[in-house]
Amino acid sequence: MAKRLLSDFDKLKFSVSATTRKPREGETDGVHYWFLSKEEFINKVDQNRFLEHEEFYNGTMYGTLRESVENDLKKGYFVLLDIDVLGALNIQQMYGDQALTVFLAPPSLDVLKKRLELRGTETDETLATRIERAKNEMTYADRFDVVVINDRLENAYGQIKELVNNFMFS
């Protein structure tokens, strides 16, 4: 959905997250992620250089660099972040009405589990972890500006596109 939004709105810019994980084949530093060592990441956390950050169950850290977002905002862009629920609520608290938070929810946890199984990228352990995480994240949905149920991709995208359009041009 993010790629479609970016192609539909020229004033929308995607925020490149920082991570401590190693680059995958074909990934470029500064394009797909900012690839940092754990020490570099922690130093940036200590210096309050992240708007939000999180450490996942496997020790990998992800975060949104404050300077990157602020620079894009100063240039007149609206910045699209693809982040976890706690990070989004942190952004919502910081930016208030200048942010639009959208919770993209599966129709159910069973549907989510089937979708993940069809991808073929999860082990039994990672699948269980992701489902448990999703269950927890769904308890925060009512704190977002809008909840969109991803029942059919085209329907969900249409709703999100309209929300973004109204937010940017109202």
Q: Tell me the C-alpha distance between 127 and 116, whole Å.
A: 7
Structural class in CATH, domain 100-170: alpha beta
**Tokens at residue 53, please?**
């950050």
CATH architecture of 1-99: 3-Layer(aba) Sandwich (3.40)
Q: In the predicted model, is pLDDT for residue 105 greater than 80?
A: yes
Tell how strand 34-35 and strand 18-19 pair up.
parallel
Predicted structure pTM score: 0.87
Q: Report the SS3 class of residue 118.
A: helix
Domain borders along the chain are 1-99, 100-170
Rounded to the nearest integer, the mean pLDDT of the chain is 95
Structure tokens at 120: 């073929």
pLDDT of residue 57: 67
Are the C-beta atoms of 61 and 19 separated by less than 8 Å?
yes
One fold for 1-99 and 100-170: yes
Please, what sign has the CA dihedral across residues 30, 145, 108, 136?
A: positive
How far apart CA 139 and CA 72 sit, in angstroms, is 31
Q: What mean pLDDT comes out for the span 155-160?
A: 97
Alpha-carbon distance of 100 to 79, in angstroms, equals 10
Q: Is the pLDDT of residue 126 over 90?
A: no
Least confident span in 2-16, 45-59, 135-149: 45-59
Residue 46, pLDDT > 70, answer yes
What are the tens digits of pLDDT across the range 54-82? Answer: 998 678 999 999 999 999 999 999 999 99
- Whether the per-residue pLDDT at 52 is higher than 90: the answer is yes
Tell me if residue 50 falls in helix, strand or coil: strand
